[in-house]
Structure formats: structure tokens, C-alpha cells
Amino acid sequence: MPDWLYDFQQYLTEWAVRLGRAAIFADCGLGKTPMQLVWAQNVVQHTNQPVLILAPLGVTGQTLYEAEKFGIKARRARPGVNGNAVIEVTNYEKLHLFEPDGYGGIVCDESSILKNFNGKRRQEITEFMRTIPYRLLCTATAAPNDWVELGTSSEALGYMGQRDMLTRFFSRKAHFARQRGKSKEWTLRPWAEDGPFWQWLSSWARTARMPSDLEYGDDGFILPPLNVNHIEVRARSLPPGVLFDVPAVTWHEEREVIRRTIRERCEAAAGSVEKNGRTSMVWVNLNDEGDLMERLIPGAVQVAGRDSDEKKEESARWFVRGSDERRILISKPTIFGFGLNFQHCAHMTYFP
């Protein structure tokens, strides 16, 4: 383990290397990228085979930059070229261009993204990993919606399948779910909740929000207070056929209000960015919001789904390491909301 890793990072990385197939569920800012790079480097040296790191599109360039910073040899993966024992990096969307044969290890960075893929894509990733002996999952959000999502991670690592996990440790509370107007929900069986489920989980995963969760010091990892300013805007127009505005209740009413107030909300957000005067991240949900924000904020760069992969990566690189004193990036959470290190940016705006 290199000396430049923090003590808790050394512990997690060494544990994952010794286990071979492991998951590191460490919170944002705890250094999952250097840990996975050191893990991959160890696997390369042990197997004399390449290791493939899968990451969201915008994160691949960041991973290569971090590897260079820490003196670890890595390159962008090229389909059909995996003979040399080196760390290779590519994005999830290009996985179908590669074959698992010849890889000694694989890393899924931001592995919680697996739950966002449809069943076919998720199964393709799991099948690709199945024959690779060394596997590592890294994410800060292992199960943000429901802990049954942990079964996706277990299955990808080659332990217990998701359905097997549900059958063994969970039961469905149909009556309770009907009372809440939901479909049947999975809940831990009483005997599993007392220990067996968590013992099984800890046999292949480690999780931490702070180094102190692993009995290490928190120095350097305590963030300053988060300041949130709520800005309320009023619609300048009314829905057709009404005399006065009423609260939106249904989903369709909410969407109508969102569409009707695009200019009001964007002007307020742009004013906040201009008043701040520093590097800012502007999160939007609609293309129309992004297009208007780009026109309202001089010098801002928008990255939308219609843009090429090259522009997305270049824009992320510019925002993090550009020479401009003040940089403003506009995009959607679905594009840049996974794994990018924006510690240089202390101001952001978003629409609920």
C-alpha cells in the first residue's frame, strides 16, 4: 500500500485486495478513486493481466487524471487491445465493445449506477464480470432507495443473487403495503435483522460515512456548514381558463407549473449565480431550462444529452481544471451527477 493513502484508505484497499471480490461503500470525498486505482494496480501486478475500470462517461477522464497524479500507469481502453498488463478505463456505455477474456480484474466505479440501467443492460454487465476473478465495486450510494438494491451488488460480485437474497433474508408485507397505497414491500425477516443479514453483508462489503466509522481520525474530512438559500418565484401568467393561481396537486399540474415558470425560475437562478461571482454548477432538469440559462449567464457552458461524448468529457475537464478564473457549467444530474469531483466549486443552483 502506498504511503500517500490515508490510513483508513490503506485499510479498505488492503481488505479489498485480500478478499478479491469486494465492495467499498465509502461516502463522497473519502477517496474511492485512489483506492480503486491502488486495488487495480495490485491486481495487475498479481495476475500480470490488465484490469478494466468502468465509470460513468464524465468520470473516465477524471480517473485517468487521478492515475497520472498518483503515478499509476493507466490508459483509455480500446476495443480489441487488452494484451498489456495495465489499468484500462472506459465508460459503461462502451462495455459491449469489449470481451472479458484476458482481464484479470474489473472495477465498477459509481456502481450504484447499475440500478439505473434496465434489466437487460444490468444483466449484460453482470455477465461480463462473471468470469473475471477479481472484482471491485465502489460507490457512496449503495442502496439510496431501498436496501434490497444491495442484491444487485452481491450478484455482480458473484456472491448471492438478488432473488436469492430476497428469498433468504426478506419477506413481503402485503397488508402493510396496501394500507400505504403501495405495492408489496420487502422487509427484513426478524431473525435476519438481528444479525445474520448484516454479517453476510459485511463479509463482502465495507461502508463508511467518515473515517471514524472505521475507528480512524476525521482530521481533514470534516466539511464546513452547508448554506442553503431557498428562492421563491411567482408565476407571471395563469393557466388557461382560470382567474387565479391554485396550488399544484397532481403530477400533471406540477409539470404544467414547471413549464409555465421556466423563465421566472431561470432568471432568479441566473441572478444568484451572477451575484455570487464565483465558479458555479447550475443543475437543470429540462432542456429548455438549460438553453435559457446558457443565454442568461455570459460565458456559461451547457452540456446536454444531445452533445457528443467528446464534448461532455472535454467540458468536465474544463470545469475542473480550466484556466478561467470563473467557470460556470450547466447540465443535468443524469449527465454529471455521478462521481465527478467538483471540490473546487463551492456554489451551485438547482431546481427542486
String of DSSP letters for 296-335: HSTT-EE--TTS-HHHHHHHHHHHHH-S-SS-EEEE-HHH
For 128, other C-beta atoms within 10 Å of its C-beta total 19
Between vectors from CA 144 to CA 64 and to CA 329, what angle results, nearest 5°?
45
Q: Which of 190, 214, 238 is the last residue before a domain boundary?
A: 214
Full-model pTM? 0.86
Tell whether 194 is covered by a domain. yes
188 and 44 housed in the same domain:
yes
With cell 474511492, the residue in question is: 32
How many domains does the chain fold into? 2
99 and 14 housed in the same domain:
yes
CATH code for the domain in which residue 117 is found: 3.40.50.10810
Boundaries of domain holding 268: 251-349
263 and 209 housed in the same domain:
no
**H or E element that contains 76:** strand 74-76
**Under a CB-based contact definition with an 8 Å cutoff, are residues 139 and 27 in contact?**
no
207 and 261 housed in the same domain:
no
- Per the rule left: phi > 0, alpha: psi between -120 and 50, beta: everything else, 51 is beta
**Digitized pLDDT (tens) for each residue of the chain, 352 residues in all:** 999 999 999 999 999 999 999 999 999 999 999 999 999 999 999 999 999 999 988 899 899 999 999 999 999 998 877 668 999 999 988 999 999 988 999 999 988 877 766 667 778 888 999 999 999 999 998 877 677 778 889 999 999 988 899 889 988 765 444 444 444 578 888 888 888 999 999 999 999 999 999 999 999 899 899 999 999 998 888 877 777 777 777 888 888 888 999 999 999 999 999 998 899 999 999 999 999 999 999 999 999 999 998 899 899 989 988 888 889 999 999 898 888 888 889 899 999 8
Between vectors from CA 154 to CA 152 and to CA 155, what angle results, nearest 5°?
65
